[in-house]
Protein backbone atom coordinates (compact mmCIF):
# COMPACT_ATOMS: atom_id res chain seq x y z
CA UNK A 1 0.00 0.00 0.00
CA UNK A 2 0.99 3.61 -0.58
CA UNK A 3 0.09 6.61 1.56
CA UNK A 4 -0.05 10.07 -0.01
CA UNK A 5 0.19 12.75 2.65
CA UNK A 6 1.54 16.13 3.71
CA UNK A 7 3.44 15.87 6.95
CA UNK A 8 2.48 19.27 8.38
CA UNK A 9 -1.24 19.09 7.57
CA UNK A 10 -3.67 18.14 10.37
CA UNK A 11 -5.60 15.33 8.68
CA UNK A 12 -2.51 13.32 7.71
CA UNK A 13 -1.24 13.81 11.26
CA UNK A 14 -4.56 12.52 12.55
CA UNK A 15 -4.06 9.33 10.55
CA UNK A 16 -0.43 8.94 11.61
CA UNK A 17 -1.40 9.19 15.29
CA UNK A 18 -4.19 6.65 14.73
CA UNK A 19 -1.78 4.21 13.10
CA UNK A 20 0.79 4.74 15.84
CA UNK A 21 -1.83 3.90 18.48
CA UNK A 22 -2.43 0.67 16.55
CA UNK A 23 1.35 0.00 16.51
CA UNK A 24 1.27 0.02 12.71
CA UNK A 25 4.72 0.96 11.47
CA UNK A 26 4.53 3.58 8.73
CA UNK A 27 7.69 2.04 7.32
CA UNK A 28 5.49 -0.81 6.09
CA UNK A 29 3.75 1.68 3.78
CA UNK A 30 5.31 3.52 0.88
CA UNK A 31 4.80 7.16 1.86
CA UNK A 32 4.63 9.90 -0.77
CA UNK A 33 4.96 13.46 0.52
CA UNK A 34 2.94 16.10 -1.34
CA UNK A 35 3.61 19.85 -1.34
CA UNK A 36 0.17 21.44 -0.99
CA UNK A 37 1.53 24.98 -1.32
CA UNK A 38 3.00 24.02 -4.70
CA UNK A 39 -0.31 22.48 -5.74
CA UNK A 40 0.81 18.85 -5.92
CA UNK A 41 -2.69 17.84 -4.85
CA UNK A 42 -4.22 19.71 -7.81
CA UNK A 43 -2.42 17.73 -10.49
CA UNK A 44 -4.40 15.57 -12.88
CA UNK A 45 -2.66 12.45 -11.59
CA UNK A 46 -3.60 13.16 -7.99
CA UNK A 47 -7.15 14.23 -8.89
CA UNK A 48 -7.56 10.87 -10.57
CA UNK A 49 -6.90 9.31 -7.17
CA UNK A 50 -8.96 11.79 -5.16
CA UNK A 51 -11.19 14.21 -7.11
CA UNK A 52 -11.60 16.31 -3.94
CA UNK A 53 -7.85 17.00 -3.88
CA UNK A 54 -7.37 16.37 -0.17
CA UNK A 55 -4.82 14.38 1.79
CA UNK A 56 -4.30 11.73 3.01
CA UNK A 57 -5.00 9.14 0.32
CA UNK A 58 -4.32 5.44 0.77
CA UNK A 59 -3.61 3.40 -2.35
CA UNK A 60 -4.68 -0.19 -1.76
CA UNK A 61 -2.83 -3.18 -3.16
CA UNK A 62 -5.50 -3.64 -5.83
CA UNK A 63 -4.93 -0.10 -7.11
CA UNK A 64 -8.05 1.51 -5.65
CA UNK A 65 -7.72 4.74 -3.68
CA UNK A 66 -9.29 5.46 -0.32
CA UNK A 67 -9.44 9.08 0.78
CA UNK A 68 -10.85 11.02 3.77
CA UNK A 69 -8.85 10.45 6.94
CA UNK A 70 -11.71 8.92 8.95
CA UNK A 71 -12.52 6.45 6.16
CA UNK A 72 -8.90 5.32 6.22
CA UNK A 73 -8.99 5.10 10.02
CA UNK A 74 -12.10 2.89 9.84
CA UNK A 75 -10.34 0.64 7.34
CA UNK A 76 -7.39 0.13 9.68
CA UNK A 77 -9.69 -0.25 12.70
CA UNK A 78 -11.31 -3.21 10.93
CA UNK A 79 -7.92 -4.72 10.11
CA UNK A 80 -6.47 -4.07 13.58
CA UNK A 81 -9.35 -3.98 16.09
CA UNK A 82 -7.17 -3.36 19.17
CA UNK A 83 -6.92 -0.92 20.71
CA UNK A 84 -10.47 -0.02 19.74
CA UNK A 85 -10.18 3.68 18.96
CA UNK A 86 -13.66 3.79 17.41
CA UNK A 87 -15.32 1.87 20.22
CA UNK A 88 -16.50 -1.69 20.80
CA UNK A 89 -20.15 -1.96 21.84
CA UNK A 90 -22.75 -0.13 19.69
CA UNK A 91 -23.41 2.60 22.28
CA UNK A 92 -19.71 3.26 22.77
CA UNK A 93 -19.17 3.45 19.01
CA UNK A 94 -22.09 5.87 18.65
CA UNK A 95 -20.89 8.21 21.39
CA UNK A 96 -17.32 8.22 20.08
CA UNK A 97 -18.63 8.99 16.60
CA UNK A 98 -20.78 11.80 17.99
CA UNK A 99 -17.86 13.41 19.80
CA UNK A 100 -15.49 12.91 16.90
CA UNK A 101 -17.90 14.66 14.54
CA UNK A 102 -18.23 17.50 17.03
CA UNK A 103 -14.45 17.83 17.07
CA UNK A 104 -14.41 17.85 13.27
CA UNK A 105 -17.26 20.28 12.68
CA UNK A 106 -16.88 22.62 15.65
CA UNK A 107 -13.12 22.66 16.19
CA UNK A 108 -10.98 21.31 13.35
CA UNK A 109 -13.04 22.91 10.57
CA UNK A 110 -13.17 26.40 12.20
CA UNK A 111 -9.41 26.24 12.80
CA UNK A 112 -8.82 25.24 9.17
CA UNK A 113 -11.05 28.06 7.89
CA UNK A 114 -9.31 30.57 10.16
CA UNK A 115 -5.96 29.44 8.79
CA UNK A 116 -7.02 29.66 5.16
CA UNK A 117 -8.78 33.02 5.41
CA UNK A 118 -6.43 34.79 7.82
CA UNK A 119 -3.10 33.66 6.37
CA UNK A 120 -4.14 33.57 2.71
CA UNK A 121 -1.97 30.47 2.34
CA UNK A 122 -4.02 29.32 -0.66
CA UNK A 123 -4.98 32.76 -1.98
CA UNK A 124 -3.62 31.79 -5.40
CA UNK A 125 -6.46 29.28 -5.82
CA UNK A 126 -9.37 30.45 -3.64
CA UNK A 127 -11.09 33.64 -2.50
CA UNK A 128 -9.98 34.82 0.92
CA UNK A 129 -12.31 36.56 3.39
CA UNK A 130 -10.40 37.78 6.48
CA UNK A 131 -13.59 38.69 8.34
CA UNK A 132 -14.77 35.12 7.98
CA UNK A 133 -11.38 33.89 9.15
CA UNK A 134 -11.61 36.04 12.28
CA UNK A 135 -15.13 34.75 12.93
CA UNK A 136 -13.95 31.15 12.65
CA UNK A 137 -11.04 31.84 15.02
CA UNK A 138 -13.53 33.17 17.56
CA UNK A 139 -15.67 30.05 17.09
CA UNK A 140 -12.65 27.82 17.66
CA UNK A 141 -11.79 29.76 20.83
CA UNK A 142 -15.33 29.27 22.08
CA UNK A 143 -14.94 25.54 21.48
CA UNK A 144 -11.74 25.65 23.56
CA UNK A 145 -13.86 27.13 26.37
CA UNK A 146 -16.52 24.45 25.94
CA UNK A 147 -13.93 21.67 26.06
CA UNK A 148 -12.38 23.12 29.20
CA UNK A 149 -15.75 22.76 30.93
CA UNK A 150 -16.41 19.36 29.36
CA UNK A 151 -13.06 17.93 30.42
CA UNK A 152 -13.73 18.93 34.00
CA UNK A 153 -16.23 16.08 34.04
CA UNK A 154 -14.29 13.28 32.28
CA UNK A 155 -10.77 12.24 31.39
CA UNK A 156 -11.07 12.11 27.61
CA UNK A 157 -13.25 13.73 24.97
CA UNK A 158 -15.71 10.84 24.57
CA UNK A 159 -15.51 9.39 28.09
CA UNK A 160 -13.12 7.44 30.27
CA UNK A 161 -10.98 6.02 27.44
CA UNK A 162 -8.78 7.59 24.79
CA UNK A 163 -10.38 7.49 21.34
CA UNK A 164 -10.25 8.93 17.85
CA UNK A 165 -12.16 11.96 19.20
CA UNK A 166 -9.06 12.83 21.25
CA UNK A 167 -6.88 12.46 18.17
CA UNK A 168 -9.06 14.84 16.17
CA UNK A 169 -9.14 17.35 19.01
CA UNK A 170 -5.37 17.14 19.52
CA UNK A 171 -4.49 17.89 15.91
CA UNK A 172 -6.99 20.75 15.88
CA UNK A 173 -5.69 22.31 19.10
CA UNK A 174 -2.09 22.04 17.93
CA UNK A 175 -2.84 23.37 14.45
CA UNK A 176 -4.68 26.35 15.98
CA UNK A 177 -1.31 27.82 16.89
CA UNK A 178 -0.91 28.93 13.26
CA UNK A 179 -3.67 31.49 13.92
CA UNK A 180 -2.26 32.37 17.38
CA UNK A 181 -4.96 30.44 19.24
CA UNK A 182 -3.56 28.70 22.31
CA UNK A 183 -5.03 27.01 25.36
CA UNK A 184 -3.57 29.48 27.84
CA UNK A 185 -3.79 29.54 31.63
CA UNK A 186 -7.54 30.26 31.71
CA UNK A 187 -8.41 26.74 30.49
CA UNK A 188 -6.77 24.41 33.04
CA UNK A 189 -8.88 21.32 32.29
CA UNK A 190 -8.19 21.54 28.57
CA UNK A 191 -4.50 22.12 29.33
CA UNK A 192 -4.38 19.03 31.56
CA UNK A 193 -6.05 16.93 28.84
CA UNK A 194 -3.63 18.29 26.25
CA UNK A 195 -0.69 17.33 28.45
CA UNK A 196 -2.11 13.81 28.87
CA UNK A 197 -2.65 13.13 25.18
CA UNK A 198 0.55 14.86 24.09
CA UNK A 199 2.52 12.59 26.43
CA UNK A 200 1.40 9.49 24.51
CA UNK A 201 4.07 8.07 22.20
CA UNK A 202 1.66 8.30 19.27
CA UNK A 203 1.44 12.10 19.48
CA UNK A 204 4.85 12.46 17.88
CA UNK A 205 3.98 10.28 14.90
Predicted confidence (pLDDT) at residue 200 exceeds the cutoff of 90: yes
| Total domain count, the chain | 2
3-state percent breakdown (helix, strand, coil) of the chain, nearest 5:
55, 10, 35
Instruction: Please check the confidence at residue 134 and state whether its pLDDT lies above 90.
Output: yes
Beta strand pairing call for 30-33 and 2-5: parallel
Q: What is the pLDDT of residue 186?
A: 97
Over residues 43-71, mean pLDDT: 97
Statement to judge: residues 107 and 33 lie in one domain = no
Q: What is the mean pLDDT of residues 77-89?
A: 97
Q: Which of the listed residues 79, 99, 128 is the one where a domain comes to its end? A: 79
8 Å CB contact between 164 and 151: no
Model pLDDT, residue 27: 86
CB 13 within 8 A of CB 164: no
Residue 2 near residue 29 (C-beta atoms within 8 A) = yes
Please check whether residue 84 lies inside any domain of the structure: no
What pLDDT score was predicted for residue 26?
A: 86
Residues 59 and 106 in one domain: no
Q: How many CB atoms lie within 10 A of CB 7?
A: 11
- Domain range for 184: 90-204
pLDDT exceeds cutoff 90 at 135: yes
Same domain assignment for residues 53 and 136: no
Cα dihedral 149, 151, 153, 159, rounded to 10, equals 140
The predicted pLDDT at position 123 comes to 97
Amino acid sequence: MKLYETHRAPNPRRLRIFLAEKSIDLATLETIELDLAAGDNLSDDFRAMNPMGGVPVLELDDGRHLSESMAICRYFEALYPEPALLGRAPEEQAFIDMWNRRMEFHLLLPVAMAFRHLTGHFADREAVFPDYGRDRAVAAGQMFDFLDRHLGEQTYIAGAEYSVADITALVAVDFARVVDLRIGDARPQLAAWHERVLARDSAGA
